[in-house]
Copies of this chain bind each other. A is one copy, B any other.
Amino acid sequence: MKQEGILIIISGPSGTGKSTIVKEFINRNNDVELSVSATTRKIRPGEQEGKNYFFLSKKDFTEKLKEESFLEYAEVYGNYYGTPRDFVDEKLKAGKNVLLEIDTEGALQIKDKFPQGVFIFIVPPSINELQRRINSRGTETEEEVERRLNSSLEEIKQLTHYDYVVMNDHISDAVQLIEAILKAEKVSVLRSGNYWLSTFTS
């Protein structure tokens, strides 16, 4: 059964370890690739075009923006960042799953344009644990920690827009849970129903 890939979107407040989960998930699953963003910021030493980013001029980025070529975009410190829709589409058509780690704002833009994505929100086990993880950086004042915690708690309210909530207590459990979600989604009727109908009614 040759099937189109799945776009997996992962969000979660800072202090949940989502980047570690994403890295581990990619390492363990050969059929999953990280999405590559486009950006207007200057290329840095050691970075590769098409690997770290697709580097675009502001003019090209703005043009592509008008053509609705991005699944989402944002401006950060005067530079644009965006997820190129054709890159994602090509990978999915080739049967690869694409993973995108992004903030809730970006995720909601994607959901609007690509509702068939699988939206996963990572949460810490508890408020205490979240506080402990933010504190453990040890580089911030009490006010900064408090501000960070509140901003994380605000972000968590957005989980209602996602499909799944994965608690990160142990990295390997969280990774295995995302693997189970991917496995289940592949055989959802929405994704595989037509294949089976045509198999048995031809």
A interface list, Cβ under 8 A from B: 1, 121, 123, 126-127, 130, 153, 156-157, 159-160, 162-167, 177, 179-181, 183-185, 187-189, 192-193, 196-197, 199-201
Contacts and interface: CB of A to CB of B under 8 A. Distances in A.
Nearest to A160: B193
Copy number in this complex? 2
A150 B183 CA distance: 30
Given A177-B183, A184-B181, A189-B160, A123 B200 contact: yes
Contact of A127 (B1, B157, B200): B200
B199 A159 contact: no
24 contacts: A123-B199, A123-B200, A127-B199, A130-B200, A153-B201, A156-B197, A156-B200, A156-B201, A157-B200, A157-B201, A159-B193, A159-B196, A162-B189, A163-B188, A164-B184, A164-B188, A165-B193, A165-B196, A167-B187, A177-B184, A180-B180, A180-B184, A184-B184, A184-B185
